């Protein structure tokens, strides 16, 4: 057992680290949601093809609205990077080698750097604004995977940042089930990101027109994804609801039961929000809400998997070999 796991659960230093980890996660969620607003408002090209400068300047002069929106996103991203790096440095000082929180903080730092590079690539290659290329779609998919991995890493830093009692630990989760849940949610997230991009680039005037666009021969790849996403959501989110409901009946740990109940409830709300998104032709505010719910589902799923004995055993084994 690592040094961080033997510290008393009421440790002031440990709880302070955990609070900071949750704050860092919250800031990153804010940056993610603002990034969605940048895309939905068509402001991705607000700083031109310049990076890290904005239209060739550190601080843009007499900026247009799109420039302000994009510049605010870059400022938030820089703040998130500084906070993640600070969290990593604190974890290096706070925990012994091999500690789970320390290791996941390292992973989060690497991921946010990679995410920044992908974001820079989008700007430098002009895969923003009205660009409908397949390269942009691929970059968006990669960006989504990195974002999900970053959110998961920060969630695990917070989870392992303060030891918890091992009494009443929920029963283990089969590896196959865990992999299916994670893979399904990531795939659903990718299709959702591409669907949102399609709604921005090819906004339908009506529901009928949107369906006609989606099934039209020779249509853009994003339109094909927009057609598949609702069906995939029914399968993945529906499966998540069934799993959460079944698992909550087999645990006697109150916090675990609460998390599973919340996961099931948000998944149902997410399905309703997705249906409303389709019927209302994806208004920006609903797109942001839909993404926020998706991130909450992802965080809750990671927590539900992290508290299982099998997950902890695997983490301890990996730490021992580091």
State mean pLDDT over 48-68. 89
pLDDT at site 8: 39
How far apart CA 287 and CA 270 sit, in angstroms, is 11
Q: What is the pTM of this model?
A: 0.89
**257-276 pLDDT tens trace:** 999 999 999 999 999 999 99
Which one, of 151, 145, 75, lies nearest residue 107 by Cα?
A: 151
- The per-residue b/e assignment along 71-108, b for 16 or more CB within 10 angstroms, e otherwise, is bbbbebbeebbebbbebbebbeebbeebbbbbbbbebb
**119-155 pLDDT tens trace:** 999 999 999 989 999 999 999 999 999 999 999 999 9
DSSP states along 261-310: HHHHHHHHHHHHHHHHHHHTT--HHHHHHHHHHHHHHHHHHHHHHHTSHH
213 vs 299, which has greater pLDDT? 299
Assess whether the previous peptide bond of 88 is cis (omega < 30° from 0): no
70 close to 119: Cβ distance less than 8 angstroms: no
State mean pLDDT over 248-254. 84
How far apart CA 274 and CA 40 sit, in angstroms, is 16
Query: What stretches of 125-216 show up as alpha helix (H) in DSSP?
Result: 134-160, 175-201, 207-215
Residue with tokens 């750097």: 113
List the chain domain ranges. 1-164, 167-322
State mean pLDDT over 62-71. 92
16 vs 317, which has greater pLDDT? 16
């Amino acid at each position: 057992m690592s040094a961080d796991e033997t510290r008393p659960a009421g440790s002031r230093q440990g709880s302070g680290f955990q609070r900071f980890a949750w704050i860092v996660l919250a800031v990153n969620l804010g940056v993610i949601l603002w990034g969605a607003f940048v895309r939905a408002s068509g402001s991705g090209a607000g700083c031109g093809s310049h990076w890290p400068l904005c239209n060739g300047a550190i601080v843009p002069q007499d900026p247009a609205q799109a420039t302000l929106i994009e510049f605010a996103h870059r400022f938030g991203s820089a703040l998130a990077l500084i906070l993640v790096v600070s969290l990593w440095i604190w974890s290096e000082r706070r925990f012994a080698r091999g500690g789970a929180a320390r290791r996941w903080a390292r992973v989060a730092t690497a991921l946010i750097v990679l995410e920044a590079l992908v974001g820079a690539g989008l700007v430098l290659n002009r895969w923003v604004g009205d660009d409908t290329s397949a390269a942009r779609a691929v970059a968006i998919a990669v960006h989504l995977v990195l974002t999900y991995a970053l959110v998961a890493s920060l969630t695990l830093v917070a989870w392992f940042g303060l030891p918890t009692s091992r009494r009443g630990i929920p029963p283990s989760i089969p590896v196959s089930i865990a992999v299916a849940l994670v893979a399904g949610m990531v795939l659903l997230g990718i299709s959702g990101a591409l669907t949102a991009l399609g709604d921005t680039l090819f906004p339908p005037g009506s529901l009928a027109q949107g369906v006609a666009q989606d099934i039209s021969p020779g249509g853009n790849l994003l339109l094909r994804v927009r057609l598949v996403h609702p069906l995939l959501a029914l399968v993945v989110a529906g499966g998540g609801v069934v799993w959460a409901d079944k698992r909550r009946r087999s645990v006697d740990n109150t916090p675990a039961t609460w998390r599973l109940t919340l996961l099931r409830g948000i998944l149902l709300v997410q399905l309703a929000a997705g249906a409303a998104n389709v019927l209302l032709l994806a208004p920006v505010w609903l797109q942001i809400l839909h993404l926020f719910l998706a991130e909450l589902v992802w965080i809750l799923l990671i927590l539900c998997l992290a508290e299982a004995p099998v997950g902890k055993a695997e983490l301890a084994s990996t730490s021992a070999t580091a």
